[in-house]
Every structure is written in C-alpha cells, then in structure tokens.
C-alpha cells in the first residue's frame, strides 16, 4: 500500500473514536481521541494489523494550557499515525493502559507515569523504570515547572532483593555484574533452574538528556544527542538533523546525504563486530571475541581517518556534513572494506557451523513471526524472525533512495538466526559502502541554516544497527526545541527478551540478553553531582559550568 492509502485506512478504522484529526505532514495523521477510547482504538489497530506502536510521547502543555498530552505513535512503513489524548494537568490525571492489547506499551507506560505524572490504570507493572528509588514522590522531571532543587533525594526503605518470596525464589542479576558491561537490574523468578517470571529496572545511567535539550539551542543539541550512545553516535545526530531540517524546510545537499549514509554503514559494521565479540564472550567463546574486536579496530581506524574521531564522529551539521571524502580516503575505504568482507564471511561460517557455539544459540530464545509482531520487535531481532521491518526500506530517507540496501531476514527466529542476520547484513553494508564511494554525488557539503526554527512538530526515524530510532521534535518558533522525545530500539526489544526468557534455563539468560544487542546507555537518557557546593540548587547552566570548573581543577 502507498503511504496515503495506509493513512486513509487508519482514519477509517479510527472513525468511531475520532474527536478531531489533522495532517501535519504528508506522511502523518494525528487523531484526537478521549482517554476512555484509547484501549478500544489500540485494539482496533492491532486487530487490523495496522503498523506497530513505535513510541509514546508525554508533553506538558503549560503555560499555554493547563493540560498534559499523551501521544501514541503508530508506524506502518512510511506512514505515522498518532493518537493524541488530552488530560487535565491538575490533580491525578489518569489514562487506561493498552498493554493488554499491545504488550510493547508496558515500558512506555512506566516512563510516561514517572516522568510526567500520568497514572496509567491497569498497566501490568506500575513501578519506576528510570527514576531512582530515592526520587521524591510527586516530582515529575518532564513537567514544565520542574526545578532542579525538587530532586533532593528522600530516605527510602530498602527493598529486599533476591531470596524466597512466598513460594517463589527470586534471583537478582545486576546492576553491577561480571556478565553485563552496562548497569541494568533484572529479577528472575525461578523454579529450580527454570525461569518462570522476569522483570527489569533501568535508569542507572540516566542523564536527563530529553530535558536538557530544552535549555540548549538547536546546534548545541547536536553534540549533546551524539552522546546518547557511543556506538550509535552518528545515528542520533542523523535522525536529529533530519528532523530539524524538515522543520526548517531546508534541503540538504545530495553529497552530504551520501556521506551520512556512508558513515552510518561504517558505524553499523563497528556496532555489529563489537556485538559479535560481546555475545561470543557471554558464550565462553573468547577466541571469537578477540578476533572480532581485533577486526573492529579496522573500521574504527577508518572512521578516525574520515572524521577525526573514533567514537563521537561529529560528522553531521544542520544542513549537511563537516568532512568530505577525498581520493586518498576513498582508497582507504576500499582497502578496509575488502579486508572486512573477507573476515565477515569467516565469522558467518563460524557462527553457523561451530558445534560448541551452536549449543548456546540453536533453538534458544526462538521467537515466531507472530510473536515478533506482538512484542513490537525491531532491527535484526525482528528480521531474524522473518519480520520485514527496516526504516531504510519502509521509509527511505537521506541517500537511501539513491543507494538502496537489500533486507536480510531469517525464518528460524532463534539466537543462531540473529547471528546469521547480522553477519549477512554486514555483507550488504560493505557492498553499499563501495557503491557510495564509487558514485559519490558532486556538489556542496552544507547549506545555509536558520538560527530559529519555525513552530511545528515532526517525527524523524532512521534505522540504527539495533533497529528503528524514533525522534519526536517540537519547535515553538525559537532557538531551542520545546520538546524532544527519544525512543531507541533497545527499549522495544526488551519486551521480547523478558517474555522469551520464561521457560529457559537461568544459564541461558546472558545469551538471551546479548542476542538482542542491548544498549543501556541508549535506554537511559539523571546524574546527581555532589561537591562543595550543593549542586541540587543549581540551574542546568550553573551545573554545567560547575562541572567544567571542577574538571579544570579550580575547585
């Protein structure tokens, strides 16, 4: 179906619940409904197999209106349909849960409740997801009137972790654990060695980035958002730049778009090779871990040659890119890609044939196509179950119309399939990078860009190595955004991991987690700083200046 047909179908499905509707962009439909109609509307979309729930954005409309707004974004290929629900800001605003209809909503609803103060009635787990246990009750960091001093920690009773609770035995893992390189807390209910229940807690590296963007201008946010994730730094600047450029109605030069895609391809190779090593380490296959990380240095050295940096590349600017691809750099890319292709084929053979490795992957964590749809899975995790979901093909952006990629899927749905999909995907990426270098469009690298962005809202989506990254950007017509929502793919894929862990051995947990290629840094987007001066009474700018001065040894 075309985008227009998909949006018309969504409008027809939602007619019984629609209070008002609008078309803010050619590929978007906004539908205002009442809170009471939300579960029925979600069930209607789910039964009709119209797209998937990509994100929930909570907004405080003060001071213009004494209301909150919850935006439920559904995506179907290039079409984006948003259910908009208005709630009173005062008192105890309530909204019914849609988790019974769409399990992937559970994490989004927990975030909506703790960050904006919306009580989600009927959600399976109303506990905090990101905010710490000593965060004061009734303080919501995404409210417009939130002040730094409100976040003063409060004393809390320590919740027992692990041990027997009734007839259940709870095994805690994390937040600090030798098998996990980033902090996340899991609680697995077990019967002997078999998992019978699972839950998780995030937020240990939460940095309040969404809130921080509101106090920085459009250009400063480029460097802030690049630090959402060290592995996908280019992904975040690309999706942000793309969204702001749409709001500003600025056309980015074709050469710049091609270079963005090239760097995205190199970042995908870096990410997948890093993941391959981590996953191999979890399986006890340390030889594969060391080999893949050795070869990862090849692409990191290449990124350093092209951009000057090995982690945060800073290649994007609003309206273009900073660096060009020179002839000697093109030669380096060809040489590196030739070597990496050979190594990737070798790794594909290893993960598909090594007897020891297959004992840890074949038939483990199998997720069917229907389950992948129900859990809202994204990226290689979804494609390994046969779900053809890839923003680069569903809604081509940037240079992907000029340099398309082919999708890689697998029908088996287990850990072995997820390894195979990622390795085959890298072979496609190598071919695409070679095509870009050989056919790089001529022209400028940048175009003029305004300081102030016209008022409006936009949705920007790109395909990161782990799956779709979703940005909702709202401008009030000034030099800073009034709301910026970030949803990374790991937050969607956790639903499938926790569900598929049930019934498996506890020893399978590290591989199940590693198999989805999680990024806790991407999930967590609060830092408590304590020094000689009470930082909790500082503004964001004072806190930043304090940190700079402390780093320089002035305090």
Higher model confidence: residue 537 or residue 209? 209
**Is residue 523, in this structure, part of any structural domain at all?**
no
**Is residue 463, in this structure, part of any structural domain at all?**
no
Q: Is the pLDDT of residue 525 over 90?
A: no
**Which of 155, 177, 203 marks a domain boundary?**
155
**Is residue 310, in this structure, part of any structural domain at all?**
yes
Same domain, 148 and 254: no
Same domain, 269 and 390: yes
Higher model confidence: residue 178 or residue 451? 451
Domain span holding position 433 = 249-456
CA distance readout (Å), 261 to 255, 416, 430, 537 = 10, 28, 12, 43
d(CA 315, CA 16) in angstroms, rounded, equals 47
pLDDT for res 166: 63
Q: Is the pLDDT of residue 311 over 70?
A: yes
**Is residue 339, in this structure, part of any structural domain at all?**
yes
Same domain, 124 and 259: no
**Peptide bond connecting 175 to the previous residue in cis, omega within 30 degrees of 0:** yes
pLDDT for res 56: 97
Q: Is the pLDDT of residue 125 over 50?
A: yes
pLDDT confidence band for 239 (50 / 70 / 90)? very high
Looking up tokens 């949705």, which residue turns up? 459
Residues 6+ apart with CB under 8 A from 182: 205, 518, 519, 520, 521
How large is the average pLDDT for residues 10-36? 97
**Is residue 408, in this structure, part of any structural domain at all?**
yes
Domain total in the chain: 2
d(CA 228, CA 224) in angstroms, rounded, equals 7
d(CA 42, CA 378) in angstroms, rounded, equals 19
Q: Return mean pLDDT, the chain.
A: 89
**Which of 155, 170, 189 marks a domain boundary?**
155
The enclosing domain of 291 has a CATH number of 1.10.645.10
**Is residue 537, in this structure, part of any structural domain at all?**
no
Higher model confidence: residue 187 or residue 114? 114
The pTM assigned to this predicted structure is 0.90
Long-range Cβ contact pairs of 387-394 (< 8 A, separation 24 or more):
389/52, 389/467, 389/468, 390/463, 391/461, 391/462, 391/463, 391/468, 392/462, 392/463, 394/77, 394/78
pLDDT for res 257: 98
Q: Give φ, ψ of 284 to 5 degrees.
A: 85, 15
**Is residue 136, in this structure, part of any structural domain at all?**
yes
Long-range Cβ contact pairs of 63-70 (< 8 A, separation 24 or more):
63/144, 65/89, 66/90, 68/93, 68/116, 68/117, 68/118, 70/95, 70/112, 70/116, 70/118
How large is the average pLDDT for residues 57-71? 95
The enclosing domain of 40 has a CATH number of 3.30.460.80
Cβ atoms of 428 and 501 within 8 Å: the answer is no
**Is residue 394, in this structure, part of any structural domain at all?**
yes
**Which of 456, 489, 510 marks a domain boundary?**
456
Higher model confidence: residue 148 or residue 412? 412
pLDDT for res 183: 77
How large is the average pLDDT for residues 36-51? 96
């Amino acid at each position: 179906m075309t985008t227009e047909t998909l949006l018309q179908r969504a409008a027809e499905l939602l007619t019984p619940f629609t209070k008002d509707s609008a078309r803010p962009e050619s590929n978007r439909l906004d539908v205002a409904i009442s809170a009471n109609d939300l579960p029925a509307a979600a069930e209607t979309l789910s039964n009709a197999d119209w797209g998937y729930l990509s994100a929930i954005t909570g907004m405080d409309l003060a001071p213009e209106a004494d209301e909150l707004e919850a935006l439920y974004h559904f995506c179907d290929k290039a079409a984006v349909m948003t259910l908009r629900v208005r709630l009173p800001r005062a008192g105890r605003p309530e909204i019914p849960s849609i988790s019974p209809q769409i399990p992937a909503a559970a994490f989004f609803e927990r975030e909506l409740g703790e960050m904006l103060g919306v009580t989600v009635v009927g959600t399976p787990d109303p506990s905090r997801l990101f905010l710490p246990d000593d965060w004061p009750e009734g303080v919501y960091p995404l409210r417009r009137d939130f002040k730094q001093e409100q976040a003063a920690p409060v004393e809390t009773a320590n919740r027992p972790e692990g041990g027997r609770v009734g007839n259940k035995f709870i095994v805690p893992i994390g937040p600090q654990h030798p098998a996990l390189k980033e902090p996340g807390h899991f609680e697995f209910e077990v019967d002997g060695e078999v998992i019978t229940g699972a839950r998780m807690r995030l937020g240990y590296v939460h940095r309040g980035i969404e809130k921080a963007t509101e106090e920085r201008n459009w250009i400063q946010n480029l460097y802030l958002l690049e630090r959402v994730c060290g592995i996908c730094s280019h992904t975040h600047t690309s999706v942000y730049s793309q969204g702001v450029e749409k709001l500003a109605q600025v056309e980015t030069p074709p050469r710049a778009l091609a270079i963005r895609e090239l760097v995205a391809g190199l970042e995908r190779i870096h990410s997948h090779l890093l993941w391959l090593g981590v996953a191999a380490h979890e399986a006890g296959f340390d030889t594969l871990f060391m080999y893949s990380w050795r070869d990862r240095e090849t692409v990191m050295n290449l990124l350093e040659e092209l951009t000057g940096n090995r982690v945060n590349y800073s290649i994007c600017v609003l309206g273009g890119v900073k660096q060009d691809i020179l002839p000697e750099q093109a030669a380096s890319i060809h040489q590196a890609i030739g070597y990496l292709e050979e190594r990737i084929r070798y790794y594909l053979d290893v993960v598909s044939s090594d007897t020891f490795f297959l004992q840890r992957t074949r038939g483990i964590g199998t997720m069917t196509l229907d389950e992948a749809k129900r859990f809202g899975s994204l990226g290689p995790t979804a494609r390994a179950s046969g779900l053809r979901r890839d923003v680069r093909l569903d809604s081509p952006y940037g240079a992907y119309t000029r340099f398309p990629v082919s999708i890689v899927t697998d029908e088996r749905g287990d850990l072995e399939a997820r390894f195979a999909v990622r390795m085959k995907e890298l072979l496609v990426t190598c071919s695409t990078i070679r095509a870009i270098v050989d056919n790089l469009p001529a022209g400028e690298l940048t175009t003029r860009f305004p300081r102030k962005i016209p008022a409006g809202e936009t949705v920007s989506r790109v395909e990161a190595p782990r799956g779709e990254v979703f940005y909702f950007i709202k401008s009030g017509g000034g030099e800073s955004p009034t709301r910026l929502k970030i949803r990374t793919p790991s937050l969607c894929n956790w639903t499938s991991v926790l569900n598929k862990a049930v019934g498996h051995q506890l020893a399978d947990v590290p591989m199940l987690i590693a198999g989805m290629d999680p990024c806790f840094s991407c999930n967590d987007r609060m830092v408590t700083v304590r020094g000689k001066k009470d930082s909790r009474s500082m503004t964001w700018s004072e806190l930043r200046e304090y940190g700079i001065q402390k780093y320089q040894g002035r305090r």
